[in-house]
Amino acid sequence: MKIWCINLLLAIAVVTGGCATGPNGHDPLEPMNRKIYSFNESLDGIIVKPVTKAYGAFVPSLVRTGVRNFFTNLGVLNTTVNDLLQLKLRNVPIDVARFTTNLILGVGGIFDVATEIGIPYHEEDFGQTLGYWGVGSGPYLVLPLFGPSTLRDGLGKPVDYFIDPISHIDHESTRWKVTGLKVIAARENLLAVENMMNDSAIDKYSFIRDTWLQRREYQIRDGATRNISPSKYSRKSLRELELEEDLN
Map out the domains of the chain as residue ranges. 3-19+28-220
Task: Report residue 19: phi and psi, to 5°.
Answer: -165, 165
Are the CB atoms for 64 and 54 separated by under 8 Å? no
Task: Give the tens place of pLDDT for each residue, 43-96.
Answer: 999 999 999 999 999 999 999 999 999 999 999 999 999 999 999 999 999 999
Q: Which residues contact 80 (CB under 8 A, 6 or more apart)?
A: 92, 95, 96, 99
Residue with the larger pLDDT of the pair 97 and 234: 97
**Amino acid identity, position 74:** L
Task: Give the tens place of pLDDT for each residue, 114-171.
Answer: 999 999 999 999 999 999 999 999 999 999 999 999 999 999 999 999 999 999 999 9
User: Rounded distance, CA 115 to CA 107, Å?
Assistant: 14
Backbone dihedral region for residue 73 (phi beyond 0: left; psi -120 to 50: alpha; all else: beta): alpha
Are the CB atoms for 179 and 74 separated by under 8 Å? no
User: Rounded distance, CA 10 to CA 154, Å?
Assistant: 9
Task: Report residue 33: phi and psi, to 5°.
Answer: -60, -40
User: Rounded distance, CA 33 to CA 162, Å?
Assistant: 26
Task: Give the tens place of pLDDT for each residue, 193-240.
Answer: 776 666 666 788 998 999 999 999 888 887 764 444 443 334 444 444
Are the CB atoms for 143 and 130 separated by under 8 Å? no
